Amino acid sequence: MIEILRHLRTGARVLDLGALTGSFPANYCPGATVVRVDLELPAPGTCDGFVQADAGCLPFPDQCFDAVIANHSLEHIRGLSAALGEIGRVVCPGGSLFVAVPDASTFSDHLFRWVYQEASGHINPFCSADELAARITGATGLKLAATRELYSSFEYLNRYTSRLRRPGLSGPLETAIAVVSFG
């Protein structure tokens, strides 16, 4: 994700999809306009450039974003096919898409879903980077550039951080699948 954001031209537009208050700091892409979209409203004053909208019906014109970031959001989206179609509609020709989702086949994800149950909000399980990439390509027309397996920890079980956030809203840090597509 950082590689995409770092190489954007001045004046580029970035859609941070399902981000609430943001899945990356705005200074990762200086000179770009970042629009953060989520169904939930963030606390007042916590997010600049926020638009409340459904990912399956984005209120933006066609081909208006140079990059779309869906960092740990697709697993939460109802109507995933419509959302992927909307991503394909709003990304510019030659634009970029970054997707990271938890790997639902891992012990970490099974444990997370068990600990947080429905509060996790994970309704779309993804177990294969190839299958996810094919679905993204089919819905958006973007060509796959690369996939990666991401690793992290069981941070969501940390007793100090778990008291500081509501379960399921911050998302777990776990083994994940990253799909990077370029138009």
Confidence grade of residue 127 (pLDDT, cut at 50, 70, 90): confident
CA–CA gap between residue 136 and residue 179 (Å, rounded)? 9
Indicate whether 155 pLDDT > 70: no
Could you give the angle at which helices 129-140 and 80-90 cross, rounded to 10 degrees?
A: 60
Indicate whether 113 pLDDT > 60: yes
C-alpha separations of 103 from 107, 109, 148, 176, 178 in Å = 9, 7, 11, 5, 9
Ordered DSSP codes for 125-140: -B--HHHHHHHHHHHH
For residue 162, being part of any structural domain is answered with no
CA–CA gap between residue 162 and residue 170 (Å, rounded)? 10
For residue 41, being part of any structural domain is answered with yes
Closest CA to 145 of 133, 158, 156, 157: 133
Cβ atoms of residues 40 and 86 within 8 Å = no
For residue 57, being part of any structural domain is answered with yes
Domains in the chain, number: 1
For residue 47, being part of any structural domain is answered with yes
- Domain hosting 38: range is 2-103+122-153+176-182
**What three-state secondary structure class fits 13?**
strand
The predicted model scores a pTM of: 0.83
Bridging pattern class, strands 176-182 and 91-102: antiparallel
Side chain identity, residue 80: L
Phi (first) and psi of residue 114, to 5 degrees: -70, -45
Indicate whether 175 pLDDT > 80: no
CA–CA gap between residue 106 and residue 174 (Å, rounded)? 9
What's the average model confidence in pLDDT over 129-137? 90
For residue 49, being part of any structural domain is answered with yes
CATH number at residue 138: 3.40.50.150
For residue 52, being part of any structural domain is answered with yes
**What three-state secondary structure class fits 111?**
helix
For residue 130, being part of any structural domain is answered with yes
What is the per-residue pLDDT for 70? Answer: 95
What is the per-residue pLDDT for 32? Answer: 96
For residue 166, being part of any structural domain is answered with no
